[in-house]
Chain A
Amino acid sequence: MISLTHLLALSGILFVIGLIGTITRRNIIMILLSLEIILNGVNIAFVAFSYALGNLTGQIIVFFVMIVAAVEVTVGLAIAVVLVQQMGQTNADELKLLKW
């Protein structure tokens, strides 16, 4: 039997994988993918709670999150394309124009 604990553990593992990926990956596309994993980890937690509590609100929020994630990826990939065009690379370490 898959309990709430198992689902939350899965959610936490996905979240941490995504977090570590966000912080450590150099390629901006990989960072975007890691962000998606974080969001999906959160989504699993929402669904799990929704199921456990018998309340649909959590599932509704998951849809919102998915919409936001889709938009975010769209914008993020657009930025990545522009970066390749303008700077010729997608290495996050080299992109540090945004400081003082």
Chain B
Amino acid sequence: MHPVTWALLSPFVGVTLLFVIPQSRVDWVRRISAIFAFIPFVIALYLISHYDRTIAGYQWVHKIPWISSLGVSYQVGVDGISVVLLLLHSICGLAGVLISYRITERVKEYYIFYLMLIGGVTGVFVSLDLFFFYMFYEMAVIPMFPLIGIWGSGEKYYATMKLTLYLTAGAVLALVGLMMVYMISGIWTFDLIFLERYLAQNPIPGHIQIFLFPFLLIGFGVIAPMWPFHSWSPIGHASAPAAVSMLHAGVLMKLGSYAILRVAFQILPQGAYTWMPWVAVLCTMNILYGGFVAMAQKDIKYTIGYSSSSHMGYVLLGLACLNPVALNGAVFLMFAHGIMTALAFASVGHIYDQTHTRITSDWGGLSKRIPFIATMFVLAALASSGLPGFGNFVGELLIFFGSWDVYRWPALAAIFGIITTAFYMLRAVRTGFFGPLNPKWEHLEDANTLFEKAPYLLLVGALVAVGCWPRLLTEIVSVSTGNILSHLSPLKTLAGL
């Protein structure tokens, strides 16, 4: 039994089945997609509940040699970080499939691409072989191109070109770095577990690490998105259909931070020590600049988009601190922010489908007419501004605690960021949902059935559960972050930090 492999295969099996189902059987297309998005969710729940917290390292590892002469093998498995992100991904993916029931145009093709996207992202989170890691990383980017280009709205052609090219450029930069690591390590293997173990004993020389680290940092940082490489993301969010925005902002953006954590930190610890203080500076720009740009937006999807780039600054700050508290906070915030953004985009999508405008001042007083969706958006807004009880608060708090002694000014900027977030989120709530109802929207439909409400309730439930009882995640995450930091800590004394 290899549950991780099953979780990875499930969406691809779904894609294969969808190919043979006739275009006209829309109901079967939807049902099959939901089933094959549901399977990874169940597996992720199983994995997270059966994860052995006493053992650091990868569990449920499944390895099949592939091209042994090049050292490429199919190898999957999860540790405490990836199991949490896998859960996030499966929740967002399932919710996204359910939200997409509203799509009526080219349903079959839509779900084929959507399931491919889900499969690609899953692959990044579970791959323990750099070759497959990179392959899935690209595979996660490519389906975005048709998904935004065909089913998107607004400036969708520009957005999808920009997004795909930008992310591919970043990926290529990272590929250059990975290939150099492959050559320089001198053991000709892509096997991440073996590479980690080998490099812990025989590290790459310091000056080479310092040279190589920016390739991986910027390459993966593009998708993180690190300032100033963020500009693909808000427009991508804004143009994508709701369910794609959910996966895009909820999960895809976490790939960058995850890859930095998984690959760059473990292989190039010395490089991390040298370069991460610069990341602390850049992420301050993320937080403040992203927050202020979000404030100036009128289109709610742009607001959420810039807010995402601002909040990913917190995650990068957590990574930059290189201490357990902040690192756990970063992983926690990745999870919480993913769920919260998915919730926000889902509710905005529901409204946009009916009003065909995303300018909040054109809405006005929607709470009166669609109380359920409005409540969901208000919850997402409050969660985003760091209200206790939601996971975002815990993540941000841990990052504040972790960064306070390391980077005082970025930490202060991050705390200031909670004011700006509250400012634009509550303003959006005020103009869009409160006040008198705009008479144009008197015939809006709320999410009426339990089936329509289910994805929202799933997201809110996850967000509140980890916010109220953070040990659900921290106990799993901290084992693995501790493991990563233990590779780094011998350097701490070396570098005199």
Do A and B contact each other directly (Cβ–Cβ < 8 Å)? Answer: no
Instruction: List the interface of chain A (C-beta within 8 A of B).
Output: none
